[in-house]
Structure 1
Amino acid sequence: MLGLVIVADLFAVWADFLQLDVTGDLMDGVYGADVTRRADHSDNVYSLAGVAQVATLVAGVAVYLCWFYRVRVNAEVFDRSAHSKARGWAIGAWFTPVVNLWFPRRITLDIWDASTAWGARRSHGLVNAWWSLWIISLLGGRAASRSYSRAETASELHEAARMMLVADVLDAVAAVLAIAVVLGLTRMQHEKALAGSAPQPAEPGLV
């Protein structure tokens, strides 16, 4: 499903370029039947891209949250004390205003730490990169949508399309990193489960 999100984002990037091309001509004072036809085509593609993004996001969220809750439950088996949030937050954190800007990241890091192999170094680079890009693209996309809906001139539409292009590219990259997080965390839990319980320190005097 994350792969489909990436496809929808790339489709949206193409729609953004169409918008930039048409609004650029309008800003330069280029008019005519061809520009009007391209503008109508661009608006249709832009609307279709928005529908595709919403559809893949909703489907992706449903599947992702099922996986996320399962790995949260699995992580308790490895280390019950490693979690700063109750299990229910694995779902609720994503839908609670304001706290959804950082609670899911904190829960992911708790799961990541509990799932890391015994004695291995805990690196949060991948999770932090994914979450940072996801938040930036989310906020950027909302700002671009507001700018687009309020735009009244070609230059304002052009700027809104530029903002949306950046947001769509970042969202696609964030989805790629999300795939890496899903695969990495799933593999970590599988390998830790196969490794069994934590190795016990040797008793003094024994070799």
Structure 2
Amino acid sequence: MEFAAADAHAEASDGGFAQLKSRARNAGYAIIAYIGIAAVMLVFEVLALTGQVDLYAMVPETLAVTYGFAAIAYLLIFLVSVVLVSMWIYRAHANLKERGIETESSPGMAVGWYFIPFANLIKPFQNMRDLWNESHLESDSYGEPAPGLINAWWACWIIGSILSNISARMEGYGDGSNMVVANGMGAVSSVLLIACAVMLHRIIRQITHAQDTALHVSQVFD
């Protein structure tokens, strides 16, 4: 009976690791698509900043119309990316829980913290640090400092998001000088968020690899 239970647990864990790889792949595709459309948006912002196109003219130019469609595509791809990355985060934390490893947040809350105001400024970072360290079998996961990659990822996300929000608010005023500053901040924001996406892609790959190797092998010998 004990062997049967152990085999069943091993099969469930194997399924969790396989599911994590599948979700990592899907999230990776979405992130790459996001990077692509964000780069397109950045080009438009630079063109607006240099005065080569007016994205908010009363009678839109062809490029301004194209920018509008690109903005819609950006929003849709971003939302899809949020869903797929959230699914990966949930599964990665669930794998640890199924192995008996306690983390600061449950799999559900590891995702939920991203959507809770103020808490989403720090809790997602702490949970990603926790996930990274536990997946790499660090001795004191929550007490260990975060790797530079995760620090840089979160810094780019926070600063990029703040600049994006300020830029959007300034665009609402419609004043010429404000628009120049808004476009400049929007361009800087896009660069930071693209960098954030590139680093998130690496984080997902490395944590997935760690769980599929170090964590998986450790379980086999437990």
User: Shared fold (TM-score greater than 0.5)?
Assistant: yes
* TM-score tier after normalising by the smaller chain length: 0.7 to 0.9
Native 8 Å contact 2:137 2:215 kept in 1: no
Residue 74 of structure 1 pairs with residue 133 of structure 2? no
Superposition RMSD on alpha carbons, in Å?
Answer: 2.9
When residues 193 and 175 of structure 1 are mapped into structure 2, their CA distance, relative to the original with a 3 A threshold, is same
Q: Distance in 2 between matches of 1:118 and 1:13?
A: 39
Native 8 Å contact 1:22 1:39 kept in 2: no
Which has the larger Rg? 1
Native 8 Å contact 1:116 1:189 kept in 2: yes
Residue 106 of structure 1 pairs with residue 126 of structure 2? yes
Aligned amino acid, residue 165 of structure 2: R
Counterpart of 2:207 (choices 182, 185, 197) is: 185
When residues 37 and 148 of structure 1 are mapped into structure 2, their CA distance, relative to the original with a 3 A threshold, is closer
Does 1 or 2 have the higher relative contact order (CA < 8 Å, sep 6+)? 1
Where structure 2 has 5 or more consecutive residues not aligned to the other structure, the ranges are 1-29
For 1:28, the equivalent position in structure 2 comes to: none
Deviation at 1:118, TM superposition (A): 6.3
Aligned to 1:97, what secondary structure does the other structure show?
coil
Runs of 4 or more off by more than 6 Å in structure 1?
Answer: 36-39, 118-122
For 2:182, the equivalent position in structure 1 comes to: 160
The number of residue pairs the alignment matches comes to 188
Aligned amino acid, residue 146 of structure 1: R
Where structure 1 has 5 or more consecutive residues not aligned to the other structure, the ranges are 26-35, 201-207
Q: Distance in 2 between matches of 1:20 and 1:138?
A: 19
Deviation at 1:85, TM superposition (A): 2.0
For 1:54, the equivalent position in structure 2 comes to: 75
When residues 104 and 92 of structure 1 are mapped into structure 2, their CA distance, relative to the original with a 3 A threshold, is same
Aligned to 1:85, what secondary structure does the other structure show?
coil
Percent identity over paired residues: 23
Q: Distance in 2 between matches of 1:41 and 1:20?
A: 17
User: In terms of mean alpha carbon deviation, does 113-122 or 13-22 score higher?
Assistant: 113-122
Aligned amino acid, residue 39 of structure 2: L
Counterpart of 2:49 (choices 20, 23, 37) is: 20
Deviation at 1:20, TM superposition (A): 1.4
Aligned amino acid, residue 192 of structure 1: A
User: In terms of mean alpha carbon deviation, does 97-106 or 70-79 score higher?
Assistant: 70-79
For 2:156, the equivalent position in structure 1 comes to: 133
Deviations 1:45-81 (A, max 9, x none): 4323322221111010111111110001112245523
For 1:115, the equivalent position in structure 2 comes to: 135
Residue 84 of structure 1 pairs with residue 109 of structure 2? no
Q: TM-score, normalised by structure 2?
A: 0.75
Q: Distance in 2 between matches of 1:41 and 1:160?
A: 21
Deviations 1:168-201 (A, max 9, x none): 111111100000000000001001234224989x
Aligned amino acid, residue 167 of structure 2: A
Residue 170 of structure 1 pairs with residue 192 of structure 2? yes
